[in-house]
Chain A
Amino acid sequence: MSTGGGIAEKLLSAQGDLVAVAGGLEQLDDVFPRRVHADPETVERGLAQLVLTLIELLRQLMERQALRRMEAGALDDDQIERLGQTFMKLAERMDELKEEFGLTDADLNLDLGPLGNLL
């Protein structure tokens, strides 16, 4: 079923890399519940994707909380340095793990239906 004409008619204004934005439309499977791919060849990557998604969620939540506390003046210099070191190393390690399992930032997300995306 083609909806191409309809979508074009709904474009009121656009600037920039529309391919990046429209990329999500090519993954209509995302509207269905995600599953861990349990094929022998892909189970490791599927599980890594799930685990890394949860780690990334926690990392982002902790970092945002730390930035809020820093902005509010609730952290001293030593605490800021220690937290910064931790987040920096965690971000570097996440990049390494994503590369190892062939995952991108866009892979580390979950469609929560009416609640939107996890990240």
Chain B
Amino acid sequence: MIHLYAFAKNLRSLPVERGVEGSPLEVCEVEGATAVVSRLQATPLQTTHEALIRHGLVVEALLDHADSLLPVRFGERFDDEDGIAAAARRLRPDVRSRLDSLEGCVEVGVRVVDPRREEPAVRAPDGTGYMHAELELSRARDRMVRALHAPLDENASASAVGAPGAGGVVHTASYLVRREAVPAFTRLVDGYAATHPQLTVVCTGPWAPYSFAGEAEAAA
């Protein structure tokens, strides 16, 4: 059973990381792209913490070893190289063009939490007051998020914004940023955080561009 981690462009060398179940990493050329794989015992897919983390560590380690990386979601396994080639061939133009478009780019994650969003629901004397208060809250959150997202989006090649979630999360997004532009991008986040001290603002990266590799996952 072959476990697939990522497609790479101009892979210079393999990282020292071991693959899932301690398996050594290998490369196989499929349809003009380099697939990074490892061979496992032919057992049913075991979705364990260790396997998930190991897969992620391999992908992150590969980030520094290639000009471009198309990560593949955990769980793509094939019987042999032909299976990988067949999967890649289905969307070969996408895989190759994706690798080209992602060249020199990394993913940066930004998450903003507003502790006030966890406060009890709006209290109002009547229904009209409640609706107006909720509308104003919604507008204020939109303004707050736009003030952060707009400049970040301008300085990114692409962005993927998630829906606000539980736990007071008002903004969660991934940005595709050129590697050399990450420090300037981070300064933008710092500048926003400094003017919004009431918020928790976290910026992480550089990550492999998982959020911008959709076609590769479909191909695999």
- Residues of A near any B CB (own CB < 8 A): 1, 3, 6, 10-18, 20-21, 23-24, 28, 31-32, 63-64, 66-67, 70-71, 77, 80-88, 91-92, 95, 105-106, 108-109, 114, 116-117, 119
Beta-carbon contact of B205 and A117 below 8 Å: no
Known: A12-B205, A15-B199, A21-B200. A88 touches B53 (CB 8 A): no
- Whether B115 contacts A84 by the Cβ 8 Å rule is no
**Interface set, chain B 104-149, CB cutoff 8 A to A:** 108, 111, 113, 115, 118, 120-122, 124, 126-131, 134-135, 138
What bracket does the count of chain B residues touching chain A fall in?
A: 35 or more
B193, A13: Cβ atoms under 8 Å?
A: yes
- Within 50-104 of B, Cβ neighbours of A (below 8 Å) are at 50, 52-54, 57, 60, 73
A66 B118 Cβ-Cβ under 8 A: no
Say which residue of A3, A85, A95 sits within 8 Å of B53 (CB atoms): A3
Partner of A109, one of B57, B128, B166: B166
Sample 22 A-B pairs with CB under 8 A, ordered by A number. A1-B54, A12-B108, A12-B186, A12-B205, A15-B202, A16-B113, A16-B115, A16-B199, A16-B202, A18-B200, A18-B202, A23-B167, A31-B52, A77-B128, A81-B127, A83-B131, A85-B126, A88-B121, A91-B122, A105-B166, A114-B73, A119-B166
Say if the beta carbon of B47 comes within 8 Å of chain A. Answer: yes
- Please determine whether B138 and A13 come into contact, CB atoms closer than 8 angstroms: no
A13 near B203: Cβ-Cβ < 8 Å:
yes
Residue of A with least CB distance to B128: A81
Point out the residues of chain B lying under 8 angstroms from A13, CB to CB.
Answer: 186, 189-190, 193, 201-203
B193 lies within 8 A of A86 (CB): no
- What's the dominant secondary structure at chain A's contact region? helix
Minimum Cβ distance to chain A for residue B21 (Å): 12
The 6 closest A-B pairs by CB, nearest first: A84-B127, A16-B200, A85-B127, A13-B203, A84-B131, A91-B121
Q: Does any Cβ of A come within 8 Å of B182's Cβ?
A: yes
Inter-chain CA distance A87–B194, complex, in Å, is 35
The answer for the CA separation of A21 and B109 in the assembled complex, in Å, is 13
Task: State which of B118, B127, B167, B200 has its C-beta within 8 Å of the C-beta of A88.
Answer: B127
- For B189, the chain A residues whose CB sits under 8 A away are 12-13
Measured between alpha carbons, how far is A6 from B60 in the docked complex, in Å? 10
Interchain CA distance A1-B101 in the complex, whole Å = 34
What A residues does B24 contact at CB under 8 A? none
A84 touching B124 in the complex, CB below 8 Å, given contacts A1-B50, A21-B113, A63-B134 = yes
Residues of chain B with a CB closer than 8 A to A15's CB: 193-194, 197, 199-202
A87 to B137 alpha-carbon distance, docked (Å) = 15
A16 to B116, CA, bound (A): 13
Candidates A67, A77, A108; contact of B138 at CB < 8 Å:
A67
By the criterion CB–CB under 8 Å, are B57 and A6 in contact?
A: yes
Cα–Cα, bound, A3→B17 (Å): 13
CB of B130 within 8 A of CB of A88, answer yes
When chains A and B are docked, how far (Å) is the Cα of A12 from the Cα of B185? 10
Which of A18, A80, A114 has the most C-beta atoms of chain B within 10 angstroms of its own C-beta? A80
Across-interface contacts of B197 in A (CB, < 8 A): 15
